[in-house]
């Protein structure tokens, strides 16, 4: 289906843009990118349920039979059911496409990252020049970099990744893991007096980041690094902007001015969010090695263009 709205602000806009619940869609990889970047939320949510079920005195109220049944399925079928893939199983989906999953980002040496960074460079270069200076060479370099990443993504998009997005990762994330974070009953068990809305985490919410930080510190989540609210805000923004960009990248076939401007807008937004988030990371922590800004120095700046 053509893109009618390329901005994600809630579950409905996310599902429409990424086609995360449409088995016949063509933009599932944009949804997979969001789930890939926010993957540790699944581990935190499962860790919370492990603790709560082992210590039922912590929370006697889960909001009714439906909720506790859903949470029990997530807790006990995790890693034993195709709808509840564990971390190792989810990495089997992500790694061939995005590279080695270091916490919640791609390995900087994989082909996806190399093609993405090449497109970032051309998009930033293109955006630096005024309209009258955007010549054929700039447009051609952009077209080639975009085409290389688009074809890479399309090469991977088959029945298995469609199933992974629609039948597995969207369900475990949206219907189970995110539901844990939205539960006012689970929040109350850990001293949090407010809950998240139904459309979290598909829009930026600093309160949501505070809840993630708090709950991550309360469970048996075995991550290698402390999760902070600022770090999650930047991660969430990167996941959202990356999903929007990948959807546009996948759909773009022609290069008239309006389409090129949209492609540039989405790629630059993704790049600057990723750079901001990456700057918070250290080598060996969750994520890629921090981007070297000189690597992406706009061509206009390199040559003193105004």
Residue 142: pLDDT over 80: yes
User: 29 with 242: CB under 8 angstroms?
Assistant: no
Give the model's pLDDT for residue 134.
Answer: 63
User: 41-88 pLDDT, tens per residue?
Assistant: 999 999 999 999 999 898 888 989 999 999 999 999 999 999 999 999
User: 29 with 97: CB under 8 angstroms?
Assistant: yes
Give the model's pLDDT for residue 234.
Answer: 93
User: 175 with 70: CB under 8 angstroms?
Assistant: yes
User: 26 with 15: CB under 8 angstroms?
Assistant: no
Give the model's pLDDT for residue 109.
Answer: 65
Q: In which band, very low, low, confident or very high, does the pLDDT at 132 lie, cut at 50, 70 and 90?
A: low
Is 139 exposed, middle or buried, given 0-12, 13-18 or 19+ CB atoms closer than 10 A? middle
Give the model's pLDDT for residue 46.
Answer: 95
Give the model's pLDDT for residue 73.
Answer: 97
Distance (Å, whole) CA 87 – CA 79: 8
Residue 295: pLDDT over 50: no
Give the model's pLDDT for residue 292.
Answer: 38
Q: Find the mean pLDDT for residues 124-146.
A: 82
Distance (Å, whole) CA 267 – CA 269: 5
Closest C-alpha among 101, 75, 94, 73 to residue 169: 94
**How many CB atoms lie under 10 A from the CB of residue 219?**
19
Residue 146: pLDDT over 60: yes
Give the model's pLDDT for residue 285.
Answer: 38
Q: What is the dihedral of CA 198, 200, 203, 209, to 10 degrees?
A: 150
Q: Find the mean pLDDT for residues 5-11.
A: 93
Q: Find the mean pLDDT for residues 145-159.
A: 96
The model carries a pTM of: 0.88
| Residue whose pair of structure tokens reads 């709560």 in the numeric block | 52
Give the model's pLDDT for residue 59.
Answer: 86
Q: Find the mean pLDDT for residues 116-130.
A: 89
User: 174-215 pLDDT, tens per residue?
Assistant: 999 999 999 999 999 999 988 899 999 999 989 999 999 999
Q: In which band, very low, low, confident or very high, does the pLDDT at 233 lie, cut at 50, 70 and 90?
A: very high
User: 259-293 pLDDT, tens per residue?
Assistant: 999 999 999 999 999 999 888 775 333 334 344 33
**How many CB atoms lie under 10 A from the CB of residue 217?**
12
């Amino acid at each position: 289906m053509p893109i009618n709205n390329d901005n994600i602000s809630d579950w409905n806009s996310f599902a429409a843009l990424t086609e995360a619940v449409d088995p016949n869609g063509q933009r599932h990889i944009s949804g997979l990118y969001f789930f890939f970047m926010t993957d540790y939320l699944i581990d935190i949510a499962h860790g919370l349920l492990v603790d709560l079920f082992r210590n039922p005195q912590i929370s006697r109220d889960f909001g009714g039979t439906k909720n506790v049944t859903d949470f029990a399925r997530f807790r006990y079928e995790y890693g034993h059911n195709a709808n509840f893939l564990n971390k190792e199983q989810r990495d089997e989906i992500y790694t061939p496409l995005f590279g080695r999953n270091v916490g919640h980002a791609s390995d900087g040496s994989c082909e996806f990252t190399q093609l993405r960074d090449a497109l970032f460079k051309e998009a930033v270069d293109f955006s630096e020049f005024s309209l009258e200076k955007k010549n054929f060479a700039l447009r051609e370099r952009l077209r080639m970099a975009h085409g290389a990443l688009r074809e890479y993504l399309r090469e991977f998009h088959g029945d298995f990744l469609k199933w992974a997005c629609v039948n597995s990762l969207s369900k475990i994330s949206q219907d189970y893991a995110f539901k844990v974070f939205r539960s006012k009953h689970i929040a109350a068990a850990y001293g949090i007096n407010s809950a998240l809305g139904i459309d979290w985490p598909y829009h930026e919410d600093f309160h949501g980041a505070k809840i993630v930080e708090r709950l991550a510190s309360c469970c048996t989540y075995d991550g290698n690094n402390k999760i902070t609210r600022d770090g999650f805000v930047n991660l969430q923004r990167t996941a959202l902007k990356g999903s929007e960009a990948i959807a546009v990248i996948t759909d773009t076939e022609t290069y008239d001015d309006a389409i090129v401007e949209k492609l540039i807008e989405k790629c630059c937004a993704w790049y600057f969010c990723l750079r901001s988030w990456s700057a918070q990371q250290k080598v060996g922590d969750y994520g890629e090695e921090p981007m070297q800004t000189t690597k992406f120095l706009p061509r206009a700046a390199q040559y003193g263009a105004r």
